[in-house]
Amino acid sequence: MNNKLNIGLIGLGTVGQGVVKVLSSYDDIEIVSCAVKDLNKKRDVEVKNLTTDVYSIVNNPEIDVIVEVAGGVWVLEPLLTAIKNKKHIVTANKELLARHGAQLFDCARENNAAILFEASVAGGIPIIQAIKTSLKANNFDCVAGILNGTTNYILTKMEEDNLSYDDCLKNAQKLGYAETDPTNDVEGYDAMYKIALLANIVFNKRIDASKIYCEGITKISPLDIKSADELGYKIKLIAQAKKVENSTDLDIRVHPMLVWKSQAISEIKNATNAVLLKGFPVDKLMFVGPGAGEFPTTSSVVGDILQIKSEITNSDAILPMQTCHHHDYANQISVDETVNSYYLRIEAQNKLGIIGQIGLACQSFGVNLSSILQKGINDNGSATIIVVSEDCREKDINSMIETLEKTGDIKVVNKIRVM
């Protein structure tokens, strides 16, 4: 084999074009062919041998590494074919790995191929490499973070500009931070795929993404942002995976959370991402950086390519520390069994005894309140009441809410967990 690494590229969107631009400065790496959906689409780069036939790339014996930046689960079969043809894989595809990673990694192990996916979790933040190498001595209790730039941008602008969710989403779309269909981001699915991959690496267990509780930011209002601020919090979409106390079970979920202003992660703004780790002996760490975009993501993709290039001629089994060695699935608890503190925004009839009803319902289900904030009388005559509970089980707070709403005088408009 000569010293040149031959690449087959799948996808030539924003990240794919970034990869082409960066690799153009490497004389010993060549993009042999690239698969795209539309040959005539206008692009900022020129690539030879464009094709719509992805199998012509994964079956090409001249290609050493497949770089997949197209996204979507449709690439599963082409990548399995590439692996069976003894090709290494570099991908940024978090959905594919979260949903079908077990199949891909098993196939890679059987065929002595490497799958590197640094770009799939936090864009330009080198979190996977850090966990698998420099932090390998640690036993982690928790990994959490802000893993989606679109939602963090929206929440930041809601806070700073006092705008509605809908207005901030429109601005994000105009600036290119949000897709025309933003569902994957704003409903939390993007962050869900990423925390599944991080939990897999941190806890050495396979994760069933379908069992991860996922809730987006669409119900967050400017009133929630303002009330949280008065109570000393900011609201962030947090993806977290942590060990259940005195158990080997894992609590993995994605949802908005109130974060104390004193916590460093509360200051992560706009499209920036952050990953928190807590373990022994390192204690607490936070990684911060750009979580998406052409060149931050390209940085991670090309970094993976260069890792493969540095070892591909030196060993039959390259990058053993980057290989998935575990087979067992984690036992993931239901969100009903999780323990949290809660923020509740309540709309109630403006009449005597409402606070008493709230107190009695809390007492019935063992829910202690740490703060109550009444926001005055609304134009329709109702009263807005903000309460924050102490730690309690999710199913108990839900039962308490159900009991309150049966009175007909009280409606819990929003429930947000506290970090």
Return the active site residues: 194
The letter for the amino acid at 279 is G
How far apart are the two ends of the chain, measured CA to CA in Å? 53
Q: Count Cα neighbours of 301 within 13 Å in the Cβ-side half-sphere.
A: 33
CA-to-CA distance for 398 and 392, rounded, in angstroms? 10
And the tokens for 20? 């082409």
Mode of pairing for the β-strands spanning 339-349 and 50-51: unpaired
CA 10 to chain CA centroid, nearest Å = 23
Q: What does DSSP assign to residue 319?
A: -
Among residues 251, 238, 241, which one has the least CA distance to residue 143?
241
CA-to-CA distance for 86 and 307, rounded, in angstroms? 17
What is the strand order of the sheet 65-68 is part of? 50-51, 29-35, 5-10, 65-68, 88-91, 115-116
User: Which residues pair with residue 255 across a beta bridge?
Assistant: 238
